[in-house]
Amino acid sequence: MIAVLDYDAGNIKSVEKALHFLGEEVKITRDREEILSADGVILPGVGAFGDAMEKLHQYGLVEVIREVVDRKIPFLGICLGLQLMFESSEETPEVEGLHLLDGRIRRIPAAPGLKIPHIGWNDIAFPNSGRLFQGIEEHSYVYFVHSYYLEAADPSIVTATTEYGTRIHASVEKDNIFACQFHPEKSSGVGLKILQNFINVTKEFREKNAQGGN
């Protein structure tokens, strides 16, 4: 089972629908025990950084997310979910993020002819190998909706980039933590393959636990 964190953020139903399409059992939940018993956890998100962090604190999910990471449960952030994993955002500089990974969220720089927010399909390059992109060709197109982007402190965790006025760190992976700035659930066949790859990681986690692995 994959738990999708319910903290009043948008985009939850489309994630649920995509996972159901792939044959995966899904629970939309903020219940600690359900989350910690899942084979994988997804933090979706559409909206403002500060508001989202406030909701995560309000529902006690910040501590639960840290437990998920500590227990090595596969954890995937999508769009705003990626941004929340890092230290802070220029959108609300006074608000501290989850800081699961080092890096900051910057505003996409204005440029002539460049529309912000960035809405639409862009191709992705793979500076480092990542389990989410197994079987996916480099320069495949995925769907973005955002005004802010990740600048990761450690380039070795960046598994996908795109160009939109600047180089955007579009996906990261470190241990059991995965994240995408784009929306795999809205990215057609390529996005479904990315979600299937995450499901495969959760299955490996489940099998390891069943065998008593650490």
Quickly tell me which residue has 């500060």 as its tokens.
Answer: 50
Q: In one letter, which amino acid is 62? A: V
Specify the higher pLDDT residue, 146 or 210.
Answer: 146
Q: What is the pLDDT of residue 146?
A: 96
159 and 136 in contact (C-beta within 8 Å)? no
| Token pair for 6 | 């319910």
Q: What is the pLDDT of residue 214?
A: 52
Which of 16, 79, 91, 173 does the annotation list as catalytic? 79
Which of 118, 146, 169, 183 does the annotation list as catalytic? 183
pLDDT at 102 over 90: yes
Read off the pLDDT of each residue in 191-206 and give the average, rounded to a whole number.
96
Which of 16, 24, 91, 185 does the annotation list as catalytic? 185
Quickly tell me which residue has 């996005």 as its tokens.
Answer: 191
122 and 164 in contact (C-beta within 8 Å)? yes
| Token pair for 189 | 């066949």
d(CA 140, CA 210): 35
Quickly tell me which residue has 């159901």 as its tokens.
Answer: 20
Read off the pLDDT of each residue in 90-102 and give the average, rounded to a whole number.
97
Domains and CATH numbers, the chain: 2-210 (3.40.50.880)
pTM of this structure: 0.95
The verdict on whether 183 is a catalytic residue reads yes
Strands 141-146 and 118-123: antiparallel
Q: How does pLDDT run across 109-138, given as a tens digit for each residue?
A: 998 989 999 999 999 999 999 999 999 999
